[in-house]
Structure 1
Amino acid sequence: MSDNPLNQPFTFPSGVLVKNRLFKSAMSEGLGNKDGSPKPMLDLLYRKWAEGGIGLCVTGNVMIDRRALGEPGNVVIEDASGLEGLKSWAKNATANGTHCWVQLNHPGKQAPKGLNKETVSPSAIPFRKDMQSFFNTPRELTETEIQDLIKRFAFAAKMVKEAGFSGVQIHGAHGYLVSQFLSPHHNQRTDKWGGDPERRRRFVLEVYQAMRDAVGTAFPIGIKLNSADFQRGGFTDEESLETIKALESAGIDLIEISGGTYEAPAMMGAKWKESTQKREAYFMDFAVKARKAVKTPLVVTGGFKSYEGMAEAIQSGNVDFVGLARLIAVEPDAPLRLLSGQSPRISIQPIKTGIGPIDKMSVMETVWYREQLERMGKGMETKPNLSAFVVFLKFAYKLIFKRKGALKERAS
């Protein structure tokens, strides 16, 4: 057996075996068809990652409702119509002994203007003033709608299993709907879904239980969870630890630790001091606390740059997997180098358009890397020097085009 800490297998308590400790974290691909089914480009993209050596791969966020997209081109699972495409995607994504889990998500209020007919959230709390030109104030969800959303998460999980993927992940981070329910800033309800930390946790726990009932005890369910929102009045690290304990008690298989929202994009490194960035792993301090609190397998994503930093994270025992995302969007075979004890060739840098309001958000980090994923999906090489400004213009054009199309459909 290799003495490389990253090249050690890992067995979950359920008996599921993963071949190494490298974890591909979710990135939004934008490679869904108009009807929400996956494009064949996803097959080629995920086959490339599978052959690139990753042990456990998580897909970009797959939505549970066609009326609630987070970005243009999201894959959606709300019925069985796209099952054949999902099966093909799963077959390629699980090649080379790779595990691939589908991340299920609902954006809540965090969807750009014009993308959906309306946005919804636990409470009708607007974005901060400088972002209100990009995001609408959401409508508060009704009790009936909340129950419907829980059922949608469960149905989507069932379809993921039927398609042949090896697990599923709940997106409970980065300011999307599950994260909004957990946050006292976004969730100001006074019914059973809000008012105190325990009631704010109710939604994620009921989503998990409904999914577990749908897929059984042997099919892995993980969650991506904020260590904190990093915004005033938001989800704190104390509440996150209590949520992690509750999820462990419920039986969650894996917790991926991240942090931040569109309003405070800590997951992109924007909030960290230079000393934190140098030691890599933005959320490792929180992972140490989480490891002391629970035995559930953990993964940290964000900030890793070198083989030495990743190996140390595993050797410390504080995490069980090292999460990679932006790196393998530009260097898809980086896992093979890491598994041979070498550091990646490319160093990840912030994506800047030069437009202040845009650069303050994490949106460009999403759409720029999505361009790289599309290139791989077309069989092309990645382009690390791609202009962020050009990518922004292309993204803005797509949003305007989609909005005009949606308005035309409503008018007819």
Structure 2
Amino acid sequence: MELSDIIEATMKPAEILSQPLTLPNGSVIPNRFAKSAMSETLGTIDNHPTRSLVRLYRAWAEGGAGLSITGNVMIDRKHIGEPQNVVVEDESDLGLLTAWAEAGKVGGGQIWVQLNHPGKQSPRMLNPDPVSPSAIPFRKELQGMFATPRELTPAEIEDIVERFARGAAVAKKAGFDGVQIHGAHGYLVSQFLSPHHNQRTDEWGGSAEKRRRFVLAVYRAIREACGPDFNVGIKLNSADFQRGGFTEEESLAVIDSLASEGIDLVEISGGNYENPAMAKGGDSGRVKESTRAREAYFLAFAEQVRARVAVPLMVTGGFRTAEGMAQALESGATDLVGLARPLVVEPDLPLRILGGEPVVSAVRPIRTGIRMVDDLALMEVSWYARQIGRIARGKKPRKHDRGVLSLVEVLGVMATRGMRTRLRAGE
């Protein structure tokens, strides 16, 4: 055994997780903890950033995350995914965006903006006229929540590409270290990639190669607007876990293309609103015991990616122990440990692990006992959003939900926000 192997074999999780990561453009992330994007819904009712976001990201930065990625910053005020999303269309909010960026770097880490367009995943109460690559409705159970989308015109597609680039340029000017294209979870970029949602026959669809054209156009426009030194990453599904949807083979081909273009980081996730694997643990919660033992839901797919390309990888979902995180890095399957819910209930988790504590995350599955709510993972998103709000107000998050009481609380907040948004839209 080589000396380097002996040293590596005796390294503690804190030593492994504290190692810096250099991205292809030379940018350095100081440790291997990455706070994955979660939709905060802490913007104003008319979609501007707030001081709450500044306080929230300061807490995560002080908690030791080497990289923080914001959640769901939308690029078009007419198309948002949730009430109180932040929208960046121009420089009108540059002051608050700058404060947000500065707060996210107080601990020495980086902060990136996740840029997104919801496409058809814009709730009916917010948008009665959603758009998508093709006019494919949601499955029957969700049609009451989401209107059937209108097919985008080629001119509208080009406009959306430019909106992504404009949002990235504003983020760079505000001092953010990079942007992440949201290409997962059934939002617009993901819709273009999916043969189920994209049934076009023009240059934007009809084959896997043409379905990739949109995401490549978005990446190239951002790179042109921001230059080679600005970090550009993507969050991408390993698969949709949906009949006729985006497959692992197609995902690998997309990563091949983006890697050849020079993308700085690929985060791997999976699922969409119709099959929310990202919230429930892999393929609708059907997690193999071998996967459970390794903790990360999408680690096996990451190993397939690693065998093909050398692009830096971030795997998110399932990590619960310092040992599991360190093992994932040692295996070479991922370069960054993506954490979402664990950082909501314990914002200082990275700092504690780096300090040598034998940490086990307090995250537990949320169950209301109401099958439809649990199957759609509605509480998995909304309950954690409530805890994010507590951190943003300077309060400690709750570590465990209160079942039906939490559901009532969440539904009350959603109804109030939806009503306020509709009233605002009618002014």
- Common fold: TM-score over 0.5: yes
1:122 aligns with 2:137: no
Q: Which moved more, 1:348-357 or 1:75-84?
A: 348-357
What is the letter of the counterpart of residue 273 of structure 1?
A: V
Instruction: State the partner residue of 1:258.
Output: 269
Q: Shift in Å at residue 34 of structure 1?
A: 2.2
Aligned equivalent of 2:24, options 6, 13, 17: 13
* Cα distance in 2 for residues equivalent to 1:343 and 1:206: 44
What is the letter of the counterpart of residue 116 of structure 1?
A: N
What is the letter of the counterpart of residue 131 of structure 2?
A: V
Instruction: State the partner residue of 1:148.
Output: 159
Q: Shift in Å at residue 217 of structure 1?
A: 0.6
Cα pair 1:364 1:388 within 8 Å, conserved? no
Instruction: State the partner residue of 1:82.
Output: 93
Q: Shift in Å at residue 164 of structure 1?
A: 0.5
Aligned equivalent of 2:205, options 176, 194, 218: 194
Measured at CA, do residues 55 and 403 of structure 1 come closer, stay the same or move farther in structure 2, by a change above 3 Å? closer
Return the TM-score normalized by structure 2: 0.92
Q: Shift in Å at residue 130 of structure 1?
A: 1.6
* Cα distance in 2 for residues equivalent to 1:92 and 1:408: 32
1:215 aligns with 2:226: yes
* Cα distance in 2 for residues equivalent to 1:157 and 1:392: 36
Q: Shift in Å at residue 191 of structure 1?
A: 0.6
Cα pair 1:305 1:343 within 8 Å, conserved? no
Instruction: State the partner residue of 2:377.
Output: 362
Equivalent positions of 1:6-405 (< 5 A) are 6-268=17-279, 269=281, 270-275=284-289, 276-401=291-416, 403-405=418-420
Cα pair 1:326 1:348 within 8 Å, conserved? yes
* Cα distance in 2 for residues equivalent to 1:411 and 1:93: 35
* Cα distance in 2 for residues equivalent to 1:409 and 1:102: 26
Give the alignment's Cα RMSD to 1 decimal.
Answer: 1.8
Unmatched segments (≥5 aa) in structure 2? 1-6
Measured at CA, do residues 318 and 254 of structure 1 come closer, stay the same or move farther in structure 2, by a change above 3 Å? same
Q: Shift in Å at residue 266 of structure 1?
A: 1.3
What is the letter of the counterpart of residue 337 of structure 2?
A: V
Measured at CA, do residues 401 and 95 of structure 1 come closer, stay the same or move farther in structure 2, by a change above 3 Å? same
What is the number of equivalent residue pairs in this alignment?
412
What is the letter of the counterpart of residue 280 of structure 1?
A: E
* Cα distance in 2 for residues equivalent to 1:385 and 1:280: 20
Q: Which moved more, 1:151-160 or 1:360-369?
A: 360-369
* Cα distance in 1 for residues equivalent to 2:71 and 2:424: 28
Alpha-carbon displacement from aligned partner over 1:92-111 (angstroms, at most 9, x marks no partner)? 01112110000000111112
What is the letter of the counterpart of residue 256 of structure 1?
A: E
Provide the identity percentage.
54
Measured at CA, do residues 80 and 394 of structure 1 come closer, stay the same or move farther in structure 2, by a change above 3 Å? farther
Q: Shift in Å at residue 242 of structure 1?
A: 0.3
Q: Shift in Å at residue 387 of structure 1?
A: 2.9
